[in-house]
Every structure is written in structure tokens, then in C-alpha cells.
């Protein structure tokens, strides 16, 4: 089997626009399926320790499900991934009011974020495997954000079973930008039950505690002695019901972890996850300074998943590589400002293997 990319119709949006599904396959029999609607990673099939390929990302059964989805299954999110307090920030002396779609805060770009955009797709040759470039132009004032953004997101799936996502963004006015992929993973296979037995290591010595509305307080707190200490691999479910204020606020884990320092633009290890049942291992590397670990606490169980089975909270986890939540309002956090003449470049790699 050779590396290849194929496309097929996936349906039509309510306004009649056609949606296409792209399948990137490698010589190992692994594959990734991506929609041009929302840039959604709809399926990712990789081998377990016995060579069986299963889909390890959660998703919806059809396009209607994705259009109604409120869990951001597999989607590209922006203009600002995660939360901005009260949907307000100041940049260069000017105040901006955003759409507050997660009252009282702005979340993942607003009511019509990039997860609800139809991206322009371009199939590309790539020495590292089949690649799909997605393009989107976000107009000035989109959901309250200043500046016209020109965005390219490149998905590449190589023979090493690594899904690489490269983000490239430019603007014509000063603005703030924070993009991520909101995929939910279950390394035992989509729809197979909860992920609490998955063993997680996060390469972070600190995290950013949140207030009651999940906005960072500004503190950078050591993970030592807390349920957030994943410096050594531990089951996701080990402390998920701990009587800890931060766990109670998130309903589980829904927090930004401060990754260890690396050279600017260099990939750094963010996390490693292992599923003891299947033997699958996922390694996450990124150029971003943080990663949001979300234990799927509020997964919407009203619809069936892509495999036909209903989901429950905890049936998937997210590792959203990112800048920190509410950074535009926190001078001590890494800046998310982007100005004309500069290009934002960000890369995240999800590499899959087995424990033998």
C-alpha cells in the first residue's frame, strides 16, 4: 500500500454549500479523514499492538451532527482557542468586545468560530506523506476581533504514523490569535468506553489555576502535591474525583499546563499517552508554550458518535496545544498579539505507535 490522498462528497450545509471529506492514507494501512467544514479531523485509524486498525478520535455520525455539535469534535478552533474573560481585551490602547458565547466569557472564537467555517481545500504533494492544505480568510471584525486574517492549516500524515498540523497566519491589523485542534482521543478505539485507565504524562511542572468561570487567576502553580502532577505517567482517572477546588471547578481536568521551555520555534514534548488495553501510544509535540488537558467532562451524549454508539462524559480526552487562556488580559503570559508584517507559525505533531 502506498501513501495517497482521496476525496469524496460528504453532504451539504443548510445553505447548500457542498462539504468534502479527504482521506490521507499511508503505506502502513493507517489513515486520517478530514472535512473541509471546520477543518474537522473526523477519523484517525492507527494500529494497536496486534496490528488492528481502529479509529481513535471521537466524532459525529454525519454532517448534520457536526453542524449541531457543541463539543467541537475534531475541529479547528479560533480566532482565539480557549477563553477570554468577559469577551474583552485591550490591544495598543484600543478596547475590543467579543461575542460571549460561554457566558460570561468568549470561548473558541465565538458563536461562528472557525469550527463552523467552510475552508478551501488544496491537495498537496509532501515528501513526508500525503498532505492537505486548508485556507480561510477571517474578515476584520469577525466575532468582534480586529484585523483580516489569512490562515493556512496544513495536515500531513506520514509513513511514521504521525499526524502533523502546521498553522500559518498573517493579519492586516494588530490582533490576537490562538489556534488549536480540538480532537478528542480514545486510544482503545472510538466508542469503547471511558479513558480513565489511559496513562498520561504531561511534560509540565506547573499549571494555571482558574476561577469559577474557568478563567486563569494569573497564578502559575507548581503541580507538585496536586492532582495535576502528571510528570510521571499516571491514569487519567486517578484523581478525577478528587476533593480539590480546581478539579471541582472544571468538573474534572480542564486546565492549561505550562510546558517546559524550549528554543523559539522548536518542537517540544508536550505529552505521552498509553492505553494499556490496546497498547497504543500517542506522543504529542508542539511549538506552543501550553497544552489544555481536558478530560471530556461535558461531552454531549445526546447524539450518537461516528461509530453509531452514544458517548458519555469521559469517553475521550483532549490535549489542545495552545497559548494560555486569557493571555490578552495577562501581561505575564506569553503574548498572543500578531501584527502586520509578521507571520504566526505553529506546529503540533501527534505521533502514534505501540508499547511493543
Three cell numbers written together for 119: 475552508
Q: Which three cell numbers stand for residue 183?
A: 480532537
The C-alpha atoms of residue 181 and residue 240 are separated, in whole angstroms, by 23
Active-site annotation holder among 33, 143, 288, 320: 320
**Whether 111 is catalytic:** no
User: Phi/psi of residue 116, each to 5°?
Assistant: -110, 15
Residues 6 or more apart whose CB falls under 8 angstroms from that of 293 comprise: 200, 202, 230, 253, 254, 255, 257, 271, 317, 318, 319
H or E element in which residue 247 lies: helix 245-250
Distance CA 162, CA 157 (A): 6
CB of 38 within 8 A of CB of 117? Answer: yes
Q: How far is CA 156 from the centre of its chain?
A: 16
Helical (H) or strand (E) element with 339: none
320 is catalytic: yes
CB within 8 Å of 317: residues ≥ 6 apart: 184, 185, 186, 195, 198, 200, 236, 273, 293, 294, 295, 296
The C-alpha cell that represents 152 in the structure block:
493556512
C-alpha to C-alpha distance for 201 and 233, rounded to whole angstroms? 4
List 108, 136, 182, 198, catalytic entry: 182
| Residue 298 in grid coordinates | 461535558
Q: Which residues carry out catalysis? A: 182, 320
Amino acid at each position: 500500500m502506498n501513501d495517497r490522498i482521496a476525496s469524496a462528497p460528504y453532504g451539504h450545509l443548510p445553505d447548500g454549500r457542498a462539504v468534502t471529506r479527504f482521506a490521507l492514507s499511508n503505506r502502513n494501512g493507517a489513515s486520517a479523514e478530514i472535512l473541509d467544514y471546520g477543518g474537522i479531523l473526523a477519523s484517525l485509524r492507527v494500529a494497536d499492538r496486534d496490528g488492528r486498525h481502529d479509529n481513535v478520535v471521537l466524532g459525529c455520525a454525519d454532517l448534520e451532527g457536526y453542524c449541531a455539535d457543541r463539543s467541537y469534535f475534531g475541529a479547528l478552533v479560533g480566532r482565539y482557542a480557549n477563553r477570554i474573560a468577559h469577551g474583552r481585551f485591550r490591544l495598543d490602547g484600543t478596547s475590543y468586545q467579543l461575542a460571549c458565547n460561554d457566558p460570561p466569557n468568549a470561548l473558541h472564537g465565538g458563536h461562528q468560530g472557525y469550527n463552523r467555517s467552510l475552508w478551501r481545500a488544496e491537495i498537496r504533494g509532501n515528501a513526508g506523506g500525503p498532505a492537505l492544505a486548508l485556507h480561510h480568510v477571517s474578515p476584520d471584525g469577525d466575532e468582534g476581533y480586529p484585523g483580516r486574517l489569512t490562515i493556512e492549516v496544513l495536515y500531513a500524515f506520514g509513513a511514521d504514523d504521525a499526524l502533523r498540523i502546521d498553522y500559518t497566519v498573517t493579519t492586516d491589523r494588530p490582533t490576537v490569535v490562538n489556534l488549536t485542534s480540538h480532537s478528542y482521543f480514545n486510544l482503545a478505539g472510538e466508542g469503547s468506553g471511558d479513558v480513565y485507565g489511559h496513562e498520561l504524562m504531561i511534560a509540565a511542572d506547573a499549571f494555571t489555576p482558574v476561577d469559577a468561570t474557568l478563567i486563569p487567576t494569573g497564578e502559575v502553580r507548581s503541580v507538585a502535591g496536586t492532582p495535576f502532577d502528571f510528570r510521571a505517567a499516571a491514569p487519567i482517572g486517578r484523581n478525577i474525583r478528587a476533593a480539590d477546588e480546581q478539579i471541582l471547578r472544571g468538573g474534572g481536568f480542564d486546565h492549561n499546563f505550562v510546558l517546559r521551555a524550549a528554543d523559539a520555534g522548536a518542537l517540544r514534548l508536550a505529552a505521552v499517552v498509553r492505553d494499556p488495553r490496546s497498547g497504543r501510544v500517542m506522543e504529542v509535540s508542539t511549538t506552543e508554550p501550553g497544552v489544555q488537558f481536558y478530560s471530556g467532562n461535558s461531552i454531549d451524549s445526546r447524539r450518537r458518535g461516528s461509530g453509531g454508539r452514544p458517548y458519555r462524559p469521559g469517553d475521550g480526552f483532549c490535549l489542545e496545544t495552545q497559548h494560555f487562556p486569557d493571555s490578552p488580559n495577562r501581561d505575564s503570559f506569553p503574548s498572543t498579539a500578531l501584527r502586520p508584517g509578521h507571520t504566526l507559525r505553529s506546529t503540533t505533531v501527534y505521533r502514534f505507535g505501540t508499547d511493543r
